[in-house]
Amino acid sequence: MKPTHYLLCSLLILFSGNMIQKGNNSAGSSSQSVRLANLNPSTLFNALFHKPSKGNWCTWKPLSSESDFPRSKEGFCHTRLDTIIRYKKDSTAMAVIVFGTVDFKDGQIASSPALSPMMSIAVAKQTTDKSWKIENFQKDFGCHGSWGVLPEMKVTKIGLSHFLEEDWGITNKGYTESWDILWHLPSLVESIKLTGSDNSGATDEESKLYERQDSLVDISEGTHTKVLVLKLESSVVNGKPQTRKTARTEYQLNESKVFEPINKQKR
């Protein structure tokens, strides 16, 4: 688990579009009845977006209820198959399929700090006949990332549970803020968000440097999925870097697939 950094209030307002997240209650959710022969781009786009693909891209017309999706001036959405992350749940092959719908202008992807692709996520399970069953599909999962690019993602196992880990951030005028979010699999519920910040690019004065970050440790016991989150602050004192713990909190995954605190101690 990588430490993360969190955004300044002013930057949050400026780039509020980067934080739009709808998660498991999205109107774009599908039933779990979709079955696929394979995970090829053409198969995925035909089944989930009901349009053929050209390579890893698909162009489709959004419904009136899908007004949050970026679209070209002609009114079409341009969606890319970003990544497929495979993992094992017990002995069963699983896959997380991530799509990004981007701002498309003048025949190319528009890019700026505030332009966040609309993310779509499917979770699939391989069946005994080697086909794939869609366990969960969130077409409108919210806007994530910046510069027209989705954040880095990977599957992380904590205790007996698997999570999609989303790691991304923004730097503005030397101040860096970032997030590390764990989404439970296959429910895609936001389980916990780690945050942090630093100003290493904003000042040359060592005495003014700081870094704040959350660090997560797996402390699961048996069937209980538990984590310890340490809040750390680093600074330079008399020319020497120092790190101290400001708080430590234990969390346990509840029935809603959210980590809830079970004790908190300041240090």
pLDDT digits (tens, 9 = 90+) for 86-111: 999 999 999 999 999 998 777 777 67
Q: How far is CA 52 from CA 48, 74, 76, in A?
A: 10, 18, 14
pTM: 0.82
* 3-state SS, residue 27: coil
Rg (C-alpha) for the chain, rounded Å, is 20
What is the C-alpha to C-alpha distance for residues 267 and 264, in angstroms, rounded to an integer? 10
User: What is the sign, positive or negative, of the torsion defined by CA atoms of 72, 78, 82, 87?
Assistant: positive
Q: What are the beta bridge partners of residue 176?
A: 171, 198
Cβ–Cβ < 8 Å for 118, 70:
yes
Q: Say what the pLDDT of residue 185 is.
A: 98
131-145, 150-164, 199-213: the lowest-pLDDT one: 199-213
Cβ–Cβ < 8 Å for 156, 165:
yes
Residue 56 has pLDDT above 60, yes or no: yes
Cβ–Cβ < 8 Å for 211, 233:
yes
Mean pLDDT of the chain: 83
The H helix count followed by the E strand count for the chain is 2, 16
What is the C-alpha to C-alpha distance for residues 194 and 1, in angstroms, rounded to an integer? 10
pLDDT digits (tens, 9 = 90+) for 171-201: 777 888 888 999 999 999 999 999 988 877 7
